[in-house]
Amino acid sequence: MLDVAVWRGGDECRLQHFAVPRRETQTVLDVVTHIQRHLDPTLAYRFACRVGMCGSCAMTVNGVARWTCRTHVAEVARDERLELRPLNHLPVVKDLVADMREFFDKWARARGQFSPSSKRTDDFARVPPDTRERRAVDAAIECIGCAVCYASCDTVAWNPDYLGPAALNRAWTLANDVRDSAQSERLAAVAGDAGCLACHTHVSCAERCPKQISPTASIAGLKRLVSLAALKGEL
């Protein structure tokens, strides 16, 4: 049996213990699902795809932010014990469900929307895979919006206004998108005190990202672009 301590409540919580049968190849999400289906149907948690695509199942597992549908109990349990809490640095809706509004609002603040430079009737843009811009985009584009990096970033803890690794990583993919027409607005959006210059390069985001993305590298790229624009007097 696993001894699973689960955060119950909102920002104020108590840890409730459940005994969950141990199974081979069991994931942390399987454990939470067992609790909700067999032990306490009032437990709130979030998931959708179960295969590492949707980014909705992230939680704090034994103190570390992780996607739970692809995290096996065998990798993370300590003496057959798990402690499950919602993601750090976000308000709690209930139990294991973090309120993601602030996280995605910051994507919008970082100008994370694509602004097309061509019209619907224009031919498809061709962006060769071996160009510098395309390689930069390809290295960072597979983000699933899980907020594991955000919950692992100390700068977010110290400066709640900080846009954070995921929003800045998104901005970097668009900064390298040759089809986008809002580059100067985006650079201005990521240049302020809450933007890329606030990153202290602690690299926790890159170490924890389950998609092996390095927001640290993306943020370093944004810092270069912001510095160049400042030198040219464009900011």
Query: Residue 202's CB: how many other CB atoms inside 10 A?
Result: 14
Instruction: Round to whole Å and give the CA distance between 67 and 69.
Output: 6
Query: Residue 20's CB: how many other CB atoms inside 10 A?
Result: 22
Instruction: Round to whole Å and give the CA distance between 89 and 158.
Output: 10
By CB under 6 A, which span of 18-26, 48-56, 72-80, 224-232 interacts with ligand FES?
48-56
Instruction: Round to whole Å and give the CA distance between 235 and 229.
Output: 6
86 belongs to the binding site for ligand FES (CB under 6 A)? no
Smallest separation, CB 51 to ligand FES (Å) = 7
Return the number of the residue (51 or 231) whose C-beta is nearest ligand FES.
51
By CB under 6 A, which span of 51-59, 178-186, 201-209, 225-233 interacts with ligand FES?
51-59
20 belongs to the binding site for ligand SF4 (CB under 6 A)? no
Binding mask 148-187 toward ligand SF4 (x if CB under 6 A, else -) reads xx---x-x---------xx--x------------------
Return the number of the residue (64 or 220) whose C-beta is nearest ligand FES.
64
Q: What dihedral angle (degrees, nearest 10) is formed by the CA atoms of 232, 189, 155, 177?
A: -80
**Count residues contacting ligand FES (CB under 6 A)?**
12
Backbone CA torsion sign across 179, 185, 190, 191: positive
Smallest separation, CB 16 to ligand SF4 (Å) = 27
By CB under 6 A, which span of 1-9, 72-80, 87-95, 138-146 interacts with ligand SF4?
138-146
6 three-class SS: strand
Residues 143 and 174 sit within 8 Å (Cβ to Cβ): no
* Residue ranges binding ligand FES (CB under 6 A): 47-50, 52-57, 67, 69
